[in-house]
Amino acid sequence: MPGMAPPLDVCIRGAGVVGRALALLLARDRLRVGLVAQPPAPSAAADVRAYALNDASRQLLQSLRSWPEGDACTPVDAMAVQGDDGGAVHFRAEAHGAEALAWIVDVPSLEARLAEAVRYQPLVEMLDAPRPAPLTAVCEGRASATRAEFGVDFDTTPYPQRAIAARLRCEGPHGGVARQWFHSDGILALLPMGGSGGHDVALVWSVEQAHAPALLALEPDAFARAVEAASGRALGAMALTSARADWPLQLARADRWTGPMPRANDGKGAARNWVLLGDAAHTVHPLAGQGLNIGLADAAELARLLHGRDFWRSPGDARLLRSYERSRKAGLWPMGFATDGLQQLFALPGRPWQLVRNWGMRGFDTSGPLKSWLARQAMGLR
Ligand SMILES: Cc1cc2nc3c(=O)[nH]c(=O)nc-3n(C[C@H](O)[C@H](O)[C@H](O)COP(=O)(O)OP(=O)(O)OC[C@H]3O[C@@H](n4cnc5c(N)ncnc54)[C@H](O)[C@@H]3O)c2cc1C
């Protein structure tokens, strides 16, 4: 009928990085995709974060022509993790035969590249509201309303911390090194930005909840002094170059990642199912810089299963979606477990625990295979 929209194969709810990447992956496979976006809040400020993305995420985004180039993307050649009593762990890309341990990507640049790629993909239709489709993919982030509407439990452990993000310019060059300090009252990360020779860093500072408002209220100069002190002046004098933003932190996982749509039957016998991806399915502590890497791996796995399905199976095939759920839940636990364990270990008060964790870090730094395994996991290498 003229004027009638063609039926969708997949309706994706949420146009964050995971939703847009999934839309591009599926459209590349000739599926017709609807992408439901929320209008931006009128007062929305630019995202001051930068994401540490691994090699698997980089390859995926490059294949979608959405990888930011130039100074918006800085390779991490080395990583230095310091404990609160002399313990330290060092990773070098060279030691693992890798081009870089990770890439630090400016979030607004990444979002702009993805939005542009979606605009040029005729099989992706931007929508203001959901439309029926054999498969509904929920990519609405941690506070997903659709997930709640479908009655899915989001098993959440809040951390008594908030993450403060900002950008700073430093006196010394960062040298392509990502630096992290574990203190008993917080975890500070300074991620290199602005290219290999840059002096800019993205800050992620996880601090005790009660401590956050005071840090956010400091004058810019006083805030920069506080970061200098917490980082032992490793990069010299600093100046704040952005607004500050903060996030609550939680470890969470949805109990079910797929199921039938409410009122699943459209009268013609076609089954309709939903599936969760990205932060709507799981959130981890940002200390490991893994949340989005895991979300992009969800999108890659779902696209892989849909690509390989028998020709007679619908994109909303329940069996296929259950195998997505099984494989992604299994891939999730090592990272969730490792980051949760680290944050708990460093939150323990008292000298004995301080000795144990710094002794553990020194041992780990010389542990060869274990260190190498963890580095390869975090880099997204098998
Ligand atoms: C401080 C901090 C630092 C981080 N650093 C890293 C890092 O270095 N590396 C890393 O890999 N990860 C990092 N993360 C995690 C990363 O931010 C998330 O994992 C990632 O943003 C998840 O992407 P998403 O698309 O699933 O969800 P989101 O980014 O939350 O996007 C969800 C989208 O859905 C939209 N939406 C919501 N509800 C609806 C609705 N009802 N209808 C339509 N649209 C809707 C929202 O507007 C949004 O656009 C960090 C997180 C924090 C807080």
Look up residue 204 and give its two tokens: 């992620």
Look up residue 158 and give its two tokens: 């809040």
Residue 354 alpha carbon to ligand 1 centre in Å: 33
Q: Considering the entire predicted model, what is its pTM?
A: 0.91
- Looking at per-residue confidence, does 60 or 249 come out higher? 60
Hey, which of 11-15, 101-105, 356-360 has the most confident mean pLDDT?
A: 11-15
How far, in Å, are 20, 146, 251 from residue 133 at the CA level? 17, 15, 31
Tell me the β-bridge partners of 109: none
Closest CA to 248 of 199, 286, 192: 286
Going by alpha carbons, the residue nearest to atom 53 of ligand 1 is 247
Per-residue confidence at 86, pLDDT binned at 50, 70, 90?
confident
Q: Is the pLDDT of residue 62 over 60?
A: yes
Percent of the chain with pLDDT over 90: 68
Query: pLDDT digits over 324-347, tens only?
Result: 999 998 877 655 555 555 555 556
pLDDT value for 238: 98
Per-residue confidence at 220, pLDDT binned at 50, 70, 90?
very high
Host H or E run for residue 223:
helix 220-230
At 364, which amino acid appears? Answer: F
- Measure CA 140 to chain center: 13
Atom of ligand 1 at shortest range from CA of 145 = 41
Backbone phi and psi for residue 293, each to the nearest 5 degrees, phi listed first: -60, -40
Per-residue confidence at 375, pLDDT binned at 50, 70, 90?
low
Cβ atoms of residues 259 and 214 within 8 Å: no
Residue 33 alpha carbon to ligand 1 centre in Å: 20
Backbone phi and psi for residue 73, each to the nearest 5 degrees, phi listed first: -145, 120
Q: Is the CB of 286 under 6 A from ligand 1?
A: yes
Q: Is the pLDDT of residue 47 over 80?
A: yes
pLDDT value for 358: 64
Structure-token match 């509201």, residue found: 129
Atom of ligand 1 at shortest range from CA of 40 = 47
pLDDT value for 330: 85
Q: Is the CB of 110 under 6 A from ligand 1?
A: no
Atom of ligand 1 at shortest range from CA of 146 = 41
